[in-house]
A = this chain, B = another copy of it.
Amino acid sequence: MPSFEYKLSVLKSGHCVNKERINLDMNLQPGLRLLSNICRIRGFASQVQAPLTSERYKVTRGNFAALNDKDLGYFESLLGKTRVLTEESDLEGHNTDWLHMVRGASKLLLKPKTTEEVSAILKYCNERKLAVCPQGGNTGLVGGSVPVFDEIVVCTSLMNNIISLDEWSGVMVCQAGCVLEALNDYLMERNFIMPLDLGAKGSCQIGGNVSTNAGGLRLLRYGSLHATVLGVEAVIPNGTVMDCLSLMKKDNTGYDLKHLFIGSEGTLGFVTKVAIQCPVKPKSVKLAFLGMDNFQSVLETFKRAKQDLGEILSSCEYIDRASITSVTDNLNVKNPIGDFPFYMLIEASGSNETHDEEKLNTFLEKIMSNGTVTDGTVASDSSQMLAIWALRERIAEGLLYDGYVYKYDISVPLTTFDDFVQDVWKQVGDDVVRVCGYGHLGDSNIHLNITSKTYDPKVTSKLEPFVYEWTSKKKGWRSRPSNAQLEENV
């Protein structure tokens, strides 16, 4: 599959830009969702240019063809002039990520509207050996949707039609460029919800969610996209349309190839349509924010929540002190409870408010009376809930204020979450501002973040391969390739 660059291979880790270079306006209202912050950061950050990825990471361009006028003529004949963009200003937002961590040098942005157009584009590029970079909402934190060299950016933004919703089965079919939040809004009006929810939902697109196997806050309840995506239509590099667009919850016809497109980052094919199973909209949502004195209490609270909340447990987030203080200290957001080494954010959503309330009260009574949890607060109206969610969702933003951020998105057994953070602290503690961990307890997925005042290669060399080896030893996974893989791929 020659015309697809394996872009992840050139990214060593998700290091974030230094706050000095971003010069953020920090007068943000507490309670704003991360999404609004992304927009603000983007607005300010666009004045600063990230170094070219190819130069920063010293990568050599693959043996791809260079774009010429004849190519442009072909694309214009296919899409019309308005959807073939070559101006630097048009390409700016597509050549870099919102954190300004990586930057490519694409000279061409194509905006197909249909599967047939995507197919024609890929077929042509494959024959001409032109490199392609598929791009959705471009909200990723690891640069996977940004060109590295002069790849043609093929953007799904105009492929944003909802094709069907079967109100009996809850199965929705839509094009890849539909924005997650728009899909959720559409469904909410019809008494359904999307089975996934992310901080970036206002910009990220379902095709990108599927291609990156995005997890998020509802995975605990509704499962990963391997569970909820029933069908995928994808175009492979030679232009062939793979119709794996099943609408059936059970489909045993032949090999279930759609799973290969879920999470393969566009390297196997360009996702053009998605069929997804949508749950019924919960009638009641409640949120508890709890503080614990030790990690064992975190584990016990999680187990208790699974027992007592059972089928209404919809989110279970873990946040350590160093993560919370990045928000309270750096962003002036108020922590509504006392100071604790560990916090948990537990969401319950169900079909009967009275029942849900009773379950939540029983759960809270148990964990408070036996001393597992010593302080907490419960929110049930949406503004209170947003304010609490902000403590979790604004951590990524808060960390930027420390200076430079080394980011790792890792799954390890949940019992090892704190050991991991402590071991990393021992490994780099003297050289850094902060080592912190937060993430999805239900999915065993921890966001490990280390910050230093400015970028320090000594920290990187202490972190890698240390973090990868630690993860591997625990049979976990990490979101980025190890050095060994990098050397192999670059």
A interface vs B, CB < 8 Å?
166-170, 191, 212-213, 215, 219, 223-224, 226-228, 245-253, 255-256, 259-260, 262-264, 268, 280, 282-283, 299, 302-303, 306-312, 350-352, 355, 358-359, 411-415, 440, 442-445, 475-479
Task: Say yes or no: B307 contacts A351, CB within 8 Å.
Answer: yes
Residues of B within 8 A of A248 (CB): 411-412, 443-445, 475-477
Q: Which of B247, B250, B251, B355 contacts A352 (CB 8 A)?
A: B355
Q: 13 A-B residue contacts at CB 8 Å?
A: A166-B413, A169-B413, A213-B250, A223-B223, A224-B227, A224-B250, A246-B475, A249-B442, A249-B444, A255-B268, A308-B351, A351-B359, A352-B358
- Further 20 A-B residue pairs, CB within 8 A, beyond A168-B303, A252-B479: A166-B415, A170-B306, A213-B256, A219-B250, A224-B250, A226-B226, A226-B227, A245-B475, A246-B475, A246-B477, A248-B475, A250-B440, A250-B444, A253-B477, A255-B264, A255-B268, A310-B352, A311-B311, A355-B358, A355-B359
- Known interface pairs A260-B259, A444-B250. Does A227 touch B223 (Cβ–Cβ under 8 Å)? yes
Task: Say yes or no: A310 contacts B350, CB within 8 Å.
Answer: yes
Task: Say yes or no: B247 contacts A475, CB within 8 Å.
Answer: yes
Query: Bound state CA distance, A224 and B299, in angstroms?
Result: 28
Task: Say yes or no: A443 contacts B355, CB within 8 Å.
Answer: no
Query: Bound state CA distance, A252 and B191, in angstroms?
Result: 31
Chain B nearest Cβ from A361, distance in angstroms: 12
Chain B nearest Cβ from A264, distance in angstroms: 6
Query: Bound state CA distance, A41 and B282, in angstroms?
Result: 46
Copies in the complex: 2
Q: Of all chain B residues, which has the CB nearest A262?
A: B256
Residues of B within 8 A of A282 (CB): 310
Query: Bound state CA distance, A245 and B476, in angstroms?
Result: 10
Residues of B within 8 A of A440 (CB): 250
Q: Which of B260, B309, B311 contacts A256 (CB 8 A)?
A: B260
Task: Say yes or no: B355 contacts A169, CB within 8 Å.
Answer: no
Task: Say yes or no: A249 contacts B443, CB within 8 Å.
Answer: yes
Residues of B within 8 A of A166 (CB): 413, 415
Query: Bound state CA distance, A308 and B473, in angstroms?
Result: 46
Residues of B within 8 A of A307 (CB): 191, 280, 351
Q: Which of B247, B256, B413 contacts A263 (CB 8 A)?
A: B256
Q: Of all chain B residues, which has the CB nearest A216?
A: B250
Query: Bound state CA distance, A250 and B214, in angstroms?
Result: 9
Residues of B within 8 A of A168 (CB): 299, 302-303, 413-415
Task: Say yes or no: B250 contacts A215, CB within 8 Å.
Answer: yes
Residues of B within 8 A of A268 (CB): 255
- Known interface pairs A310-B280, A311-B351, A444-B169. Does A256 touch B259 (Cβ–Cβ under 8 Å)? yes
Q: Of all chain B residues, which has the CB nearest A277?
A: B223
Residues of B within 8 A of A215 (CB): 250
Residues of B within 8 A of A445 (CB): 248-250
Chain B nearest Cβ from A311, distance in angstroms: 4
What 8 pairs across the A-B complex have the smallest Cβ distances?
Answer: A310-B351, A227-B227, A259-B259, A311-B311, A248-B411, A253-B477, A355-B355, A249-B443
Residues of B within 8 A of A226 (CB): 226-227, 256, 259
Query: Bound state CA distance, A414 and B247, in angstroms?
Result: 11
Query: Bound state CA distance, A283 and B307, in angstroms?
Result: 9
Q: Of all chain B residues, which has the CB nearest A220?
A: B249
Chain B nearest Cβ from A429, distance in angstroms: 27
Residues of B within 8 A of A358 (CB): 352, 355
Query: Bound state CA distance, A212 and B310, in angstroms?
Result: 29
Query: Bound state CA distance, A167 and B303, in angstroms?
Result: 9
Residues of B within 8 A of A191 (CB): 307
Residues of B within 8 A of A213 (CB): 250, 252, 256
Name the residue among A245, A259, A359 with the largest chain B CB count within 10 angstroms: A259
Residues of B within 8 A of A250 (CB): 213, 215, 219, 224, 411, 440, 443-445
Query: Bound state CA distance, A452 and B166, in angstroms?
Result: 36
Query: Bound state CA distance, A252 and B308, in angstroms?
Result: 30
Task: Say yes or no: B252 contacts A477, CB within 8 Å.
Answer: yes
Chain B nearest Cβ from A194, distance in angstroms: 16
Name the residue among A310, A414, A442, A443 with the largest chain B CB count within 10 angstroms: A310
Query: Bound state CA distance, A476 and B247, in angstroms?
Result: 8
Residues of B within 8 A of A299 (CB): 168
